[in-house]
Chains A and B, each alone.
Chain A
């Protein structure tokens, strides 16, 4: 009931301007586009407590979805082709505001997406995650995995208004710094704030077979088609959430610089690759935020992919 109370307070206080800011005509802006950061912590949607998951068949499906979300590596080799888990980028198992929470995604679909050029359902959106962020293969729409993950998202969104741009949805959009961004400066930010967990070369750190800290580039990271490959998207995630426990401590400039550094490294090829890098760039990357795909950095063509 607690989350209902919070939601009522939130609706009473600020539904109008705060929620309508990015939703002209009542339509939600493209899910792939980060939105303005408008949520004071006290006005955010509160998903139900994990302890309230029921023991019945529905609750068991919620729990199965939660398990897959935090341990997506259980699908490695089947639907997952890299070393990541959903919860690496959707913190607190998809609950954390400004970390693309599942309760924000569930209530935002179906929606038109620039990326697909059509209206996508929530199921299709998760399939995209598997293809790009997880560098794998999408489970079928009627698979047990997608049933579980979408049930978990639905449950997390209990009581949330549908079709409204909830504060804390997605990652915050950080405007590009006036002076631009700088990969070399980002390298220094990385060494100081990120390498302790993610490794000196972005390789992550393992505990046994599995990554305790996710790799940020290279074979086991997200591919060139993932939303996180955009410097602007990564900058928003980083500034709001990284380092863990210290979200909001890096400046917007530092976040842009280090996001550029991270995303200037090679990663698995965009599964939409067609003909050559330049053709693929024009088709899928030329109008997709700020990204390095198909560009030349220090004389090296970026976007060659890693097998």
Chain B
């Protein structure tokens, strides 16, 4: 009897039971009954995102950072029409589970590039490693860490992020449509960047930390 029930359960809910070992993976692959789409639809099971569509790479981002972004989408303090309904359909536990799952997806380490590296020629690299202090802009690696590896849960990894996504976010901070950064740190910097700098630095970081 017990065995029969177990077999029946396994037959019906096999995939769920398997995914149940990692609720984050289950959500990523299947979404939930509250209407959250499977994250993998846009971000991939491996968290690679999609450069052409501008969907960010989530693999290897800090779990606390991912969770806070989902909380902000949920609360409306970060506005994004596609993400808002999905985040609103996730409960706090599910947000933590998804964040932990993507944070654990492997990614190549970011190279140890910062101020101590020789002066690069490329303007994107110069902004990343030296900043533009005449406009009050510190080097990106000052806060995001050497190679843009990310520091803690407030300063996300940039290395290997899609250029399309980095550029979109910098422009969103610049025009005020994104404003969920602590102490307006990113907003202040972005408002001092021109289009050419945004383009150059976005491509620079996109090219770092690739396998």
Contact = CB atoms under 8 A, between A and B. Distances in A.
Interface of A: 50-51, 53, 63, 67, 70-71, 87, 91-93, 95-96, 192-193, 196-197, 205, 207, 212-213, 243-247
Contact of A244 (B115, B138, B154, B192): B138
Nearest to B137: A245
Given A205-B152, A207-B151, 5 more contacts: A70-B115, A70-B116, A197-B143, A212-B151, A246-B183
Interface of B: 114-116, 118-119, 130-131, 133, 136-138, 142-143, 145-146, 149, 151-152, 154-155, 182-185, 188-189, 192
A192 B182 CA distance: 9
A246 B184 contact: yes
Contact of A196 (B118, B182, B189): B182
Contacts of B146: 207, 212
Given A67-B116, A93-B115, A243-B183, A207 B133 contact: no
Contacts of B149: 207
Contacts of B116: 67, 70-71
A296 to B, nearest CB: 33
A245 B151 contact: no
Nearest to A67: B116
A163 B168 CA distance: 49
A213 B151 contact: yes
B185 A207 contact: no
Given A212-B145, A244-B185, A50 B151 contact: no
Contacts of A192: 183
Residue among A67, A70, A197, A205 facing the most chain B CB atoms (10 A cut-off): A197
B189 A50 contact: no
9 contacts: A91-B133, A192-B183, A193-B183, A207-B146, A212-B143, A212-B155, A243-B185, A244-B142, A244-B143
B20 to A, nearest CB: 35
B151 A92 contact: no
B115 A87 contact: yes
A212 B184 CA distance: 19
A295 B116 CA distance: 40
B196 to A, nearest CB: 18
Contact of A51 (B119, B142, B154, B155): B119
A50 B131 CA distance: 12
A245 B130 contact: no
Contacts of A50: 119, 130
Contacts of A197: 143, 154
A207 B142 CA distance: 11
A35 B201 CA distance: 37
B115 A71 contact: yes
